[in-house]
Amino acid sequence: MSEIGSGFFQAINLIVTLNPEVMQIAALSLFISLVATIIAAAISIPLGGLIHFHEFHGKRIIIVLIQTLYSVPTVVVGLVLYLMLSRSGPLGVFGLLFTPEGMILGQTVLIVPIMTGLVIAALGGVDRNISDTLISLGATAFQCIVQIVREARYAILSAVVLGFGRAISEVGVAMMIGGNIRDATRVLTTAIALQTGIGDFPLSIALGIILLAIALIVVIILNLITSGLLFESQQALGGPRT
């Protein structure tokens, strides 16, 4: 108990004094996951739109496949990408293994399915009458799609934030593709795993607190987004209902 207690206070000290190693690990984590989220969003939103707005054979099967990939273990994604990116693999020539770029690629691959699936669900959640109304008002196919995406903006934003949450909290891909190399590819989750293994609890707890804080921020942002509509309604009505 005293070990946990002293570890906790040392962790707070590391955070408050902006320990360079802690800050570097946290910053790299945020950078990799943010870039992966931006790339995944750039792929998932148009891809989700493409699947939602087009009728084709096998659409249902594709959606089920995407949903199955929501829960694919991160180590499986890590393993597959490792084999692809290793020197003898088909993408070995790019030298991405054990680099932050490789980790970005790995996290992108990991979160594209969940983001795409949630974008499809978000667009599907828009009342069908809306698209009929838009077409009836003289919208072109493109104008109609733009308007429906705008209508689903809160749900799409939630999908992006959830994708970020999955990226920053995963350990399998970061460990296998990044290799947990100090000052190069060490991120919050891999550092916690390593430091706990060697008994450096203060650093593990400090990094854990930062990870939890990021998770908390993600949840707060999600709540703000989902309550955005209600908030706007209340503003329009002249303030919250009592």
Provide, rounded to whole angstroms, the least separation between the CB of residue 96 and another protein: 42
Based on the shown chain and the rule CB under 8 A, indicate whether residue 139 belongs to the binding site for another protein: yes
Identify which of residues 3 and 232 has a Cβ nearer to another protein in the complex.
Answer: 232
* Crossing angle between the packed helical segments 153-169 and 201-226, to the nearest 10 degrees: 170
CA angle 158, 166, 100 (to 5 degrees): 120
Q: Determine the Cα–Cα distance for residues 52 and 43; give it in Å rounded to an integer.
A: 14
Q: Is position 13 an interface residue for another protein (rule: CB under 8 A)?
A: no
Distance CA 199, CA 112 (A): 35
Q: Check binding of 130 to another protein (CB under 8 A).
A: yes
227 sits near another protein (criterion: CB under 8 A)? no
Question: What ranges in 54-99 are assigned the alpha helix state H?
Answer: 59-69, 74-85
Residue 77-116 contact track with another protein, rule CB under 8 A, x = bound: ----------------------------------------
42 touching another protein, by CB under 8 A: no
Among 46, 217, 229, 240, binds another protein (CB under 8 A): 229
Give the span between the Cα atoms of 84 and 97, in whole angstroms.
9
Q: Supply the DSSP symbol for 174.
A: I
Site string for another protein, 180-219 (x = CB under 8 A): ----------------------------------------
Nearest to 102 by CA among 85, 115, 89, 88: 85
Going 158 to 164 to 170 to 172, the CA torsion angle's sign is: positive
143 binds another protein (CB under 8 A): yes
| Residue 225 near another protein by CB under 8 A | no
In angstroms, rounded to a whole number, what is the distance separating the alpha carbons of residues 224 and 148?
21
Q: Which stretch binds another protein (CB under 8 A): 29-37, 184-192, 201-209, 232-240?
A: 232-240
- Residues numbered 149 to 168 that lie near another protein (CB under 8 A) are 151
Minimum distance of another protein from residue 138's CB (angstroms): 4
At residue 155, what is the residue type? Answer: A
Q: Interface with another protein by CB under 8 A: which residues?
A: 127, 129-130, 132-140, 143, 147, 151, 229, 232-233, 236-237
